[in-house]
Amino acid sequence: MKLLVLGGTVFLGRHVVAQALAAGHEVTLLHRGRRGVGLFPAARALIGDRDGDLSALDGLHFDAVIDCSGYTDAQLSRSTAALAAVPRYLFVSSISVVAAFPPGVAHDEDAPLLTGDSGYGEQKARAEAALLAARPGRATLVRPGLIVGPHDPTGRFTHWPLRVASGGEVLGPGRPERPVQFIDVRDLAAWCLQLVEQGITGTFNAIGDSLPMHELLACCRSVSGSDARFTWVDDRTLLDAKIEAWSELPLWIPEHDPAFGGMLLGSNARARAAGLHTRPLADTVRDTLSWAQSPEGQAARSPHAMSLQREAELLAAAASR
């Protein structure tokens, strides 16, 4: 298959390209040339800009496109026009397009979407609409939640394997049974390839199964062999302490938050039916930790995550109650 990857040098795109090359596909990357130059010598690299010059694509023919870098409706309109003759087009969107995530309410692909023209979710929703308008019935929309694993530039999920590996008393945010969701980047990459290989169209939540937060932290402890012990601090205490959800404590969202309380309650039934497979949690934790502890992974630690000092202060305050 002649595959074009829009992006392909940072995180998801990097794994898509690696797996596509390993599967024997003929891969072309289109990116801006700012990161990952020379990363895949076996692939053809084109320099272009989604917000400007796409002339590097002129006269080229592909069997499928995997779009890992589209963000705005203008970018999708421009790329779909340039690639109108390509039979298969998969766009990686986000569950952030969903209009609201009420507490305790599960959501699927038919949930109402955001409107407007500002904000990440609104922009992605407009980009989806642009793609569907250009390719009615001939597009694949994949909506990941939190993508995790090696080469994650955000450091969000990575925070937990690293923190638990360092041992000691660890602050567990919210209820131990609070559900969380994420997807290993390698599983997402493999499934994106499978969808375009098989010509499957439609809209899919690209998320893993729900699991309780305590299971994730216990897995981090088992994988690392640390002496970590967990003290669980409830949502109210964390909110009173003005802890930033999701960023300062990754994977923590107050369960009764009116806008985002149900964000980690997505259904992946449609994706499972379309062939999504996910690896064991221990494999994701182990490989993420190994990468994060390598020289390459040092730069990808979240700058927003709670410091050990701040964590100790909260744990001490909780113990004094």
- Report the pLDDT value the prediction gives residue 25, as an integer from 0 to 100: 98
- Report the pLDDT value the prediction gives residue 147, as an integer from 0 to 100: 98
Computed from CA positions of residues 113, 117, 122, 123, in that sequence, does the dihedral angle turn out positive or negative?
positive
**Structural element, H or E, at residue 173:** strand 169-173
Residues facing 98 on adjacent strands: 113
- Report the pLDDT value the prediction gives residue 220, as an integer from 0 to 100: 98
The answer to whether 288 and 149 are in contact (CB under 8 A) is yes
In the chain, where the domains are located: 2-148+183-206, 159-180+210-264+280-320
10 Å Cβ neighbour count for 52? 9
The answer to whether 114 and 121 are in contact (CB under 8 A) is yes
Q: What is the mean pLDDT of each run of 10 residues along the chain (321 residues)?
A: 93 96 97 82 93 93 97 96 97 98 97 93 97 97 97 94 97 98 98 98 98 98 98 96 95 96 97 98 98 87 90 92 76
Which DSSP string do the residues of 219-256 spell out, in sequence order? HHHHHHT---EEEEE-HHHHHHTT--BTTTBTT---TT
Amino acid type, 152: D
- Report the pLDDT value the prediction gives residue 250, as an integer from 0 to 100: 95
Residues facing 46 on adjacent strands: 30
- Report the pLDDT value the prediction gives residue 140, as an integer from 0 to 100: 98
The torsion angle over the Cα atoms of residues 155, 157, 158 and 164, rounded to 10 degrees, is 140
Q: Give which of 287, 316, 301 is closest to 15, Cα–Cα.
A: 287
Q: Is 22 helix (H, G, I), strand (E, B) or coil?
A: helix
The answer to whether 190 and 19 are in contact (CB under 8 A) is yes
Residues 6 or more apart in contact with residue 90 via CB below 8 angstroms: 64, 65, 66, 67, 139, 140, 141, 142, 192, 195, 196
CATH tag for 2-148+183-206 (out of 2.60.34.10, 2.60.40.1120, 3.40.50.720, 3.30.465.10): 3.40.50.720
- Report the pLDDT value the prediction gives residue 321, as an integer from 0 to 100: 76
- Report the pLDDT value the prediction gives residue 302, as an integer from 0 to 100: 85
- Report the pLDDT value the prediction gives residue 320, as an integer from 0 to 100: 84
